[in-house]
Amino acid sequence: MEFSIASGVAMIKGAFYPAVGAHSPCMIICHGMPAGPKSSEFAKDDLIAELSYAEIAQLFADLGIATVIFNFRGTGLSTGDYHPLGWVADLESVLAWVVTRPEVDPERIGIMGSSMGGVIALKVASSREDIRFLISYASPSSTTSPADPLVHIERYRSLGIITTPGFPDDPEVWSKEYDAINPVYHIDKINSSHILLVHGDADDVVPVQALYDLAGIAPAHTELRVIEGAGHRFRSEPRAIEVISSWVDGIFSDELTV
């Protein structure tokens, strides 16, 4: 089921994959920064051997975990312009929508974020009490204000995730939002009962050391998984998807009737 929800000035597009039965656990999947120019919603790149987000969502739904996929502002068919705290607001808006769904148990909601989506997931989970489980894949351990905001803004214009002329009004204020989402400031505040950090040891975008940096300050019950030979793109790594799906299934396997 596709949906559209307002998030400030942006309209967020997503899709909901219910599990069999009612009042099920639910996982919200947060994508990372686009690797190329803006394309259609939830598009699958046929040039890369990877699953689409829709296929991954259906996989989890088949395990008994209702799943939500969506596009952050500026990406896919969602409107708005990229800025880090805007993505935080988008995830908060999706969470607000999810808890109203009769198919979902609001006490069993989780977030899975990949790369920049992992950063956003960590930030949001750190300020909430209702995130039962949290997973990050290939999350950076630190995000800091870029030295030259205009260079970054122009790059995001070329990707099509900033489109409004004159946005942002103040590039320096825009850049400081990276400090506000810095994972090292938030990961120790996460209250989720289950936390999983996953990283590939062949990641050439975010080195695997980031996982160990985060683990050093994460809550003590945080679990780690290092996937040998895996790279940065979550959807291109079947073993990472298998590890994560097995871990989530293990949390609820005694509770689910699939």
- Average pLDDT estimate for 196-224: 96
- Statement: residue 113 has pLDDT above 90: yes
- Average pLDDT estimate for 186-194: 96
Give residue 168's pLDDT: 97
**Which candidate, 67, 123, 61, 63, places its Cα nearest to that of 90?**
123
- Statement: residue 91 has pLDDT above 60: yes
- Statement: residue 118 has pLDDT above 70: yes
Give residue 37's pLDDT: 67
For 8-24, how does the pLDDT look when each residue is reduced to its tens digit (9 = 90+)? Answer: 999 999 999 999 877 89
Rounded to whole angstroms, how far apart are CA atoms 170 and 159? 20
Q: How confident is the model at residue 38 (pLDDT cuts 50, 70, 90)?
A: low
Q: How confident is the model at residue 47 (pLDDT cuts 50, 70, 90)?
A: very low
Share the mean pLDDT of the chain.
Answer: 92
- Average pLDDT estimate for 106-122: 97
Residue pair 35/46 in contact by the 8 Å Cβ criterion: no
Provide the sign of the torsion angle of the four alpha carbons 121, 124, 127, 129, taken in this order. Answer: negative
Q: How confident is the model at residue 49 (pLDDT cuts 50, 70, 90)?
A: low
Residues 6+ apart with CB under 8 A from 13: 2, 3, 4, 41, 70, 71, 76, 77, 78
CATH class of 2-141+186-252: alpha beta
Looking at the DSSP bridge assignments, the partners of residue 67 are: 17, 27
- Average pLDDT estimate for 192-198: 97
- Statement: residue 41 has pLDDT above 70: no
For 237-249, how does the pLDDT look when each residue is reduced to its tens digit (9 = 90+)? Answer: 889 999 999 999 8
Q: Within a 10 A sphere around the Cβ of 151, how many other Cβ atoms?
A: 10
Q: Give φ, ψ of 132 to 5 degrees.
A: -70, -40
Q: How confident is the model at residue 172 (pLDDT cuts 50, 70, 90)?
A: very high
Give residue 50's pLDDT: 74
- Statement: residue 92 has pLDDT above 70: yes
**Which candidate, 237, 234, 226, 30, places its Cα nearest to that of 134?**
30
Token pair recorded at residue 15: 């899709």
For 213-231, how does the pLDDT look when each residue is reduced to its tens digit (9 = 90+)? Answer: 999 999 999 999 999 999 9
Q: Which of 36-45, 60-69, 187-196 has the lowest mean pLDDT?
A: 36-45
In angstroms, what CA-CA distances link 6 with 14, 99, 123?
11, 15, 20
- Average pLDDT estimate for 50-66: 91
For 138-156, how does the pLDDT look when each residue is reduced to its tens digit (9 = 90+)? Answer: 999 999 999 999 999 999 9
Token pair recorded at residue 222: 């945080």
Q: Is the bond preceding residue 171 a cis peptide, omega within 30 degrees?
A: no
